Chains A and B, each alone.
Chain A
Amino acid sequence: MTGGAPEVWRVPPLPALLAAILLIACAEVGGASMVKFKLELTRWARSVMLARPAVHGLVGVRDVDEQAIDETLVKFDAALRLFHLHAEGMGLVIIATTMTAATLVRSDGARRALIALLTVGGAGYPFGYLLWSALIPYYGIQTGKTLAEWLVWIPFGGATIVAAWWLAALLGARLVRRA
Chain B
Amino acid sequence: MAGAGDPRSSSVFGARVRRKEDARLLSGHGRYVSDVELPRMLHVAFVRSVHAHARIRRVDAAAAAALSGVVSVVAGDDPEFARHRLRACSALPGYVETEQPILAWPTARYCGEAVAAVAAVDRYVAEDGAVLVGVDAEPLPAAVDALEARGSGATVHDGAPGNVLLSRRFEHGDVDGALSDSAVVIERAFRTNRQTAAPLEGRGGVAEWNAAEDKLTLWSGTQVPHLARHGLAEILGLPQNRIRIVAPDVGGAVGVKGVLYPEDVALCLLAMRLGRAVKWVEQRRAGAVRLRAERPAVVWRPRVGPVRLRPGRDAAVASLTLLRRVEYARRELRMRRPPLAVVFVGLLIIALGETAGAVMSQLRPQIVRYAQSRVAANAQAHGLAGSAEYDSEITARAVYSAEAGLSFFHTHAQGLGPLVIFASTVAATAVPWRRARGALYALFALGALFPLGYLAYALAALEWGRDAGIEAAESYILTPLGSAAIVGLVALGALMVMGARRGRAA
Contacts and interface: CB of A to CB of B under 8 A. Distances in A.
Contact of B344 (A7, A89, A165, A171): A171
Nearest to B414: A89
B341 interface: yes
A104 B361 contact: no
B351 A6 contact: no
Given A7-B180, A96-B421, A104 B357 contact: no
A6 B181 CA distance: 10
B240 interface: no
Interface string B426-454: 00000000000000000000000000000
Nearest to B336: A8
B116 interface: no
A167 interface: yes
Interface of A: 5-11, 85, 89-90, 92-93, 95-97, 99-100, 103-104, 149, 153, 157-158, 160-161, 164-165, 167-168, 171-172, 174-175, 178
Interface stretch (B182-190, B206-214, B495-503): B182-190
Nearest 5 CB-CB pairs, A to B?
Answer: A164-B351, A96-B418, A92-B418, A7-B180, A89-B414
Which residue among B346, B354, B355, B358 has the maximum number of chain A CB atoms within 10 Å of its CB? Answer: B354
A167 B335 CA distance: 21
Contacts of A171: 340, 343-344, 347
Interface residues of B, number: 33
Contact of A93 (B181, B344, B417): B417
Nearest to A169: B351
Interface of A is mostly: helix
Given A92-B418, A168-B344, A172-B344, 18 more contacts: A5-B337, A7-B337, A8-B180, A9-B336, A11-B333, A89-B415, A93-B414, A93-B417, A96-B417, A97-B347, A100-B421, A153-B361, A157-B357, A161-B355, A161-B358, A165-B355, A168-B347, A171-B347
Interface of B: 180-185, 333-337, 340-341, 343-344, 346-348, 350-351, 354-355, 357-358, 361, 411, 414-415, 417-418, 421-422, 425
A157 B351 contact: no
B344 A96 contact: no
Contacts of A89: 411, 414-415, 418
Nearest to B359: A161
Contacts of A174: 340
B340 A178 contact: yes
B340 A167 contact: no
